[in-house]
Structure 1
């Protein structure tokens, strides 16, 4: 059956509308990554951008709360929080100068430094890994050694799950790896038996729907991958104005982290009002998530006995173990960190 002229025109208009919408959405993400980039003085303090890894949510509570409550302004910094996403390369944002600070995992930082990126970490929020595996409560799967013969949902670019499981003696040949997008749907629909996830993501989302889960933290098995690691260009530390702004960001973010621990309900509400509502998230999910992420911050501090968000010698040693045991690359972990910047700043 052939289309009438009018129906063909309507179809073309629908296609054109869809294309325009896609282009607009893509442009929005790119502008979010680039707007407010760079640094310099303005009427509100030293302008500096903080590049997130993904869309702002409760995981970024330390930064969002510090921004919303004026902590950065108190330190003389006009902070701009940049949303991340699949089109945003954090290392490129920082190395190009579009962001003064970027949030990395210790694993992604190691890979960037190994590839010659002139980057260094100056502080770290989550020093007890948020990463792990989630299973449904009634599955009875509570240990990685029970993964054998099961279907494991992993991100398409995951390169560490198999080396990690092998390192603790799991027979990975018997495990079926299934690409997933980070949503709880494959697990709930029984398309997979296990999913990789940060503790504050799938388990919290399912708990919000009344579905009980088991969470298996990889840190308990020697794979302590840090996240929300504050990373800057090395040469930014030689610029007095940039160095002062970096120190201000460290101080203000520590205040945000302390608020996270002291009053996670308030942080959850603030993040929801600032970003969560626009993303279709529920206020309760952000409040519940805040308690999980706050607990991870506390676990990291207790693990290394340093000041909140401080990078200690013990923390660097842990990252060396990650490099040697999981990443298996030739890299001195000391090249990834600069402990001197936060000295006298953290309380």
Structure 2
């Protein structure tokens, strides 16, 4: 009997100890499909950096019909990658998102116009059709037009807005005079199609001072009340930044990892390698902290455009990035 009791106690102790070694499960929802825009997270998963931080991370790809803000609101993710404008708009509409880290420091958003349109400056926009992505990606464009005083309703002296597909076809097919591109994605498609600085007018949001914060990491506000959850977030950001550092130092391997982790088979190595190179100009792999200067500019632009109606409170926290210093 003593041996039986001892055995039961040993088993109970083992069961009690086991959870302490169990990995913390986190689900990350990406803003878009599996591509090098998210190389840091994909590399961190592939190289075991999350495992090193005792994390079991599931990475969910996004797509044209997936809104990360809706996914996390519905309990389908713990962390999402999204643009701050979309996150702020969601917060005001009742989804209490909080920015916990900001690996992307610069905007990759541009608008390009073929030379045959005759557009060489912003003053030439009125009377033309401009391609813009929606689903939360439209806010920087409308903030820019608001700043320039250009109507976007197609009226006289204004522009007509085309809800653009996520490629350069509207420009190729002549549906739009200018289109939106990301430096690390669609602009590469334009280069492949024979376009470039010699036959394009390029409006770079960052260079114009109209950049709003893009790919940041967001969680639900109430989860930050749980110290264990905050600790898991901190380890996640630490491992993710290690993934970003590795990706930017090893672009060829990072591109291969992206291709391997794309279950659709759509990712092509050469394009992913191009993307890693361009993303490296936007990401600071050594500093995941939020830039308050860019944050304030983003908030003011959203207020000016009435995307949000009041200065947000509690929309970001430094508790995670402070713990990594």
Following superposition, the deviation at residue 280 of structure 1 comes to: 2.5
Residues matched between the structures, number: 298
Contact 1:45–1:76, Cα closer than 8 Å, also in 2: yes
- Secondary structure at the aligned position of 1:221 is classed as coil
278, 287, 311: which one aligns with 1:292: 278
Q: Residue in 2 aligned with 1:208?
A: 192
Q: How does 1:99-138 map to 2 (within 5 A)?
A: 99-136=77-114
8 Å Cα contact 2:35-2:258 kept in structure 1: yes
Contact 1:316–1:333, Cα closer than 8 Å, also in 2: no
**Are the aligned partners of 1:133 and 1:216 in contact in 2 as well (CA < 8 Å)?**
yes
Question: Which 10-residue stretch deviates more, 123-132 or 88-97?
Answer: 88-97
1:219 deviates by: 2.6
Identify unmatched segments of 5+ residues in structure 2.
1-18
- 2:147: which partner in 1? 167
Q: Deviations over 1:117-162 (max 9, x none)?
A: 2221100122312222123366564543332332211235545534
TM-score between both structures, scaled by the size of structure 1: 0.77
1:218 positional shift: 1.8
Matched with 2:309 is 330
1:64 shift after superposition: 0.9
Which structure's relative contact order is higher, taking Cα pairs within 8 Å and 6+ residues apart?
2
Distance of aligned partners of 1:286 and 1:113 in 2 relative to their CA distance in 1, 3 Å threshold? same
State the Cα distance separating 1:164 from its structure 2 match.
2.0
Which one is further off, 149-158 or 223-232?
A: 149-158
Unaligned 5+ segments in structure 1 are 1-40, 302-306
Distance 1:333 1:156, change over 3 A: closer
Q: Is the 8 A contact 1:48 1:80 kept in 2?
A: yes
Superposed CA RMSD: 2.6
Calculate the TM-score normalised by the size of structure 2.
Answer: 0.81
User: Residue 268 in 1 paired to residue 255 in 2?
Assistant: yes
Other-structure match for 1:152: 130
Q: Deviations over 1:241-294 (max 9, x none)?
A: 322211111111111222343333332222122218x33232111101111111
Structure 1 residues 94-120: Cα deviation after superposition (integer angstroms, max 9, x where no partner) = 233321101121001111111222221
Could you tell me how far apart the structure 2 residues matched to 1:150 and 1:225 are? 24
Aligned mates of 2:131, 2:116 — CA distance in 1: 18
SS at match of 2:166: coil
> Which of 219, 231, 235 is residue 232 of structure 1 equivalent to?
219
Distance 1:90-1:280 versus aligned 2 partners, 3 A rule: closer
Structure 1 position 308, deviation (Å): 1.6
What SS is found at the alignment partner of 2:218?
A: strand
CA shift in 2, pair 1:318/1:166, >3 Å: closer
- Do the aligned partners of 1:160 and 1:327 also contact (CA within 8 Å) in 2? no
Kindly tell me: are residues 239 and 328 of structure 1, through their superposed partners in 2, closer, same or farther at Cα, counting changes over 3 Å? closer
1:245 and 2:229 aligned: no
